[in-house]
């Protein structure tokens, strides 16, 4: 079972319901989301083997990731003022389907540690680039900028 020490981060193993037809996994339920978190869009991305996405953080946005395929290393770093420095790595994907919410100020990244393309679902609570894609993107990138956030 997935666990985290990060305040405000929800990391939960998902349970497949299987029968002779295949399987079904509830991605998220409103009654199990952090209070006040309301996803506003959803997308799926594919990440190639060995490739990382991030590290980055958001000033206002919370991400809700669902890892169902492949083998990923999910990295989380504490970057919020007043909270203790912390770095966690979680193995998530097909062997441990996982739901995770990442609040503002938590630097996050994931790397495809498998040998095939794998997909990730995201249901953030803010529209990318705002309504009509007319606002700045809420993203603070850390690649090659801050050595604390190296994969």
For residue 8, list its beta bridge partners.
none
In terms of CATH architecture, what is 10-129? Sandwich (2.60)
- Go through the chain and tell me how many residues it has: 151
- pTM higher than the cut 0.85: yes
The residue behind tokens 């990730």 is 120
Cα 27 to its chain centre, rounded Å, is: 13
For residue 122, which of 66, 77, 69 has the smallest C-alpha distance? 66
* Highest-scoring range by mean pLDDT, 1-5, 18-22, 45-49: 45-49
- At 78 the pLDDT is 96
- Residue 1 binned pLDDT confidence (cut-offs 50, 70, 90): low
- CA–CA dist 118, 112 (Å, integer): 7
pLDDT at 112 over 90: yes
Q: Give me the mean pLDDT over the 101-105 stretch.
A: 97
Distances (CA, A) of 67 to 119, 129, 138: 7, 24, 22
Each residue of 18-46: pLDDT tens digit? 989 888 888 888 898 889 999 999 999 99
- Spatial distance between the Cα atoms of 14 and 118, rounded to a whole number of angstroms: 17
CA dist list (Å): 150 to 3, 94, 100, 124: 22, 25, 20, 24
Q: What is the mean pLDDT of residues 71-90?
A: 96
What is the C-alpha to C-alpha distance for residues 28 and 43, in angstroms, rounded to an integer?
14
User: Quick one: average pLDDT of 53-81?
Assistant: 96
68-94 as b/e, with b when 16 or more CB fall inside 10 Å? Answer: bbbbbbbbbbbbeeeeeeeeeebebbe
Residue partners of 144: CB distance under 8 A and separation at least 6: none
pLDDT at 77 over 60: yes
Domain ranges for the chain: 10-129
Average pLDDT, the chain: 93
């Amino acid at each position: 079972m997935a666990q985290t020490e990060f305040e405000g981060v929800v990391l939960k193993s998902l349970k497949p319901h299987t029968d002779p037809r295949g399987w079904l996994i509830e991605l998220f339920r409103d009654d199990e989301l952090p209070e006040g978190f309301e996803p506003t869009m959803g997308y799926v991305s594919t990440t190639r083997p060995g490739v990382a996405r991030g590290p980055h953080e958001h000033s206002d946005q919370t991400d809700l990731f669902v890892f169902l395929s492949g083998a990923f290393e999910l990295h989380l770093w504490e970057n919020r003022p007043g909270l203790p420095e912390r770095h966690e790595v979680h193995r998530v994907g097909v062997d441990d389907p996982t739901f995770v919410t990442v609040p503002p100020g938590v630097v996050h990244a994931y790397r495809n540690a498998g040998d095939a393309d794998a997909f990730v679902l995201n249901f953030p609570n803010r529209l990318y680039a705002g309504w009509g894609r007319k606002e700045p993107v809420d993203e603070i990138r850390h690649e090659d900028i801050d050595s604390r956030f190296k994969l």
